[in-house]
Structure 1
């Protein structure tokens, strides 16, 4: 029964995006049609491939400051696991109220697996329809940050096999190379997704008010994971670090790509046409 429901949901999501993209491609304005649809998709696929290589090679190119930051994140997660996880779990789950239930549901939605795909895909389609390159590239950046960061997190979950709080196994139970979702606590996928989306949008929008609002949403997602007893605090610390690092990296890469495209377009606009025919008037 579950597999039938999942298949139906997948079919509905897939069908919806097929309709949206079909409408987008059919509605491309003349300004966007200067490049064919195939060229646009081809350029974006090339950009995604390049960004993928850059992001997943970043650890190889870490300098001293980068390793210091990574060490601080890992140290914070270890300290949390040793001294904070258990008492915080008891405090956060001790009392439930309608207001906190509603707040937690907002965080659950923002950090959900589908949120990044819907948001990024919607912005990408809107950018195609309107011919707005910033919106299209921002949608692509959200899709990249969401997907890349969850690849890191998914690998960590499977390798660590840490038991979730609600199992009652305790904060220090690691089963290693697990396939059961009950033992996929570390890192938090919701926290990863939420901070990836917030950080990449913050880098693209580049406005203090947007940054504060976006990261506040991510913190609500962290609260949700603790409140619903799905994750330890240390899980969310690592998830937030992965999402933030990947999101900021992708945002910077897409910003650089946009700058290069703007420079090329500016150079093309400065090219003056050469007259093929001139008429001379005699001087008397």
Structure 2
């Protein structure tokens, strides 16, 4: 079935923001002709995306004191939200009929895997075909982060088997490996995919207002899932934390381990020499 314009709106808006806005802060890329071929760049980026996934999954083995403190804070925060799961779920579900259908559509289609990967893939292909290094790297970050976080939520929600609010079984109902959607509440896949994309794109900008706008768009899916009674507040809260941790981890990996863009050309350094019977200017190339 062909999606209507309204349902395509989240893709169009985010794609426009991604390519146009990131391009504004991209380097001039004057050395484009000196870059490797498109095929070589594609292989390099594939290795980067896979490397980012391995790096993120292996990070807990290298955690230090601050990392354990962060993990403890996330666990404590999730436990605190759990206390209010029933009350917050009732409140959000009551708001569902008051929300515009357009907002609900954006939340659903933006967080759906096929649409999310379409956005991420379009950003990357634009960077690859134009050899715009900043956009290309952003595309790698988007694809790698979505794949990493997506796999985490797929395995976790099946292994935990938490009942969704709409089942009426309560927040403490768990049936691990049940294998049906009604018991795939924890964590929220829509939240993870939508906010992972928004957070990765937002990191490319220094302007706090641009960041806020992009993050706000990324929050539509999480909130809409609460309205629909598809998730508890703890599901969404932990999913947001997973998104941030995964994106930051892969972004650090790409910045530290991978080189994007042509190497800076050697600059000429000048040194003024004064000695007995001589005065000179030496240039080092």
TM interval, short-chain normalised: 0.7 to 0.9
Q: Which moved more, 1:231-240 or 1:248-257?
A: 248-257
Structure 1 or 2: more helix by fraction: 1
Question: CA 1:32–1:207 in structure 2 vs 1: closer, same or farther (change >3 Å)?
Answer: farther
> Does the aligned pair in 1 maintain the 2:145–2:247 contact within 8 Å?
yes
Structure 1 or 2: more strand by fraction: 2
Give the TM-score taking structure 2 as reference length. Answer: 0.76
> Does the aligned pair in 1 maintain the 2:198–2:218 contact within 8 Å?
yes
Task: Report the equivalent of 1:75.
Answer: 76
Task: Report the equivalent of 2:172.
Answer: 172
Give the TM-score taking structure 1 as reference length. Answer: 0.77
What SS class does the counterpart of residue 123 from structure 1 fall into?
Answer: helix
Instruction: Say whether 1:250 aligns with 2:250.
Output: yes
Instruction: Say whether 1:49 aligns with 2:65.
Output: no
User: Which segments of 5 or more consecutive residues in structure 1 lack a partner in the other structure?
Assistant: 1-29, 272-284
| Alignment RMSD (CA, Å) | 2.4
Deviation at 1:226, TM superposition (A): 0.6
Question: CA 1:249–1:32 in structure 2 vs 1: closer, same or farther (change >3 Å)?
Answer: farther
Task: Report the equivalent of 1:27.
Answer: none
What SS class does the counterpart of residue 204 from structure 1 fall into?
Answer: coil
Instruction: Say whether 1:237 aligns with 2:237.
Output: yes
Task: Report the equivalent of 2:123.
Answer: 123
Pairing partner for 1:266 from 258, 264, 275:
264
Task: Report the equivalent of 1:221.
Answer: 221
> Does the aligned pair in 2 maintain the 1:104–1:223 contact within 8 Å?
no
- 1:18-167 aligned within 5 A: 31=32, 34-81=35-82, 83-97=83-97, 99-167=99-167
1:154-193 Cα offsets, whole Å, 9 max, x none, are 1110110001111111110111123111101001111111
Count of residues in correspondence between the two structures: 240
Task: Report the equivalent of 2:201.
Answer: 201
Q: Distance in 1 between matches of 2:195 and 2:95?
A: 26
Deviation at 1:106, TM superposition (A): 2.1
User: Which segments of 5 or more consecutive residues in structure 2 lack a partner in the other structure?
Assistant: 1-30, 269-285
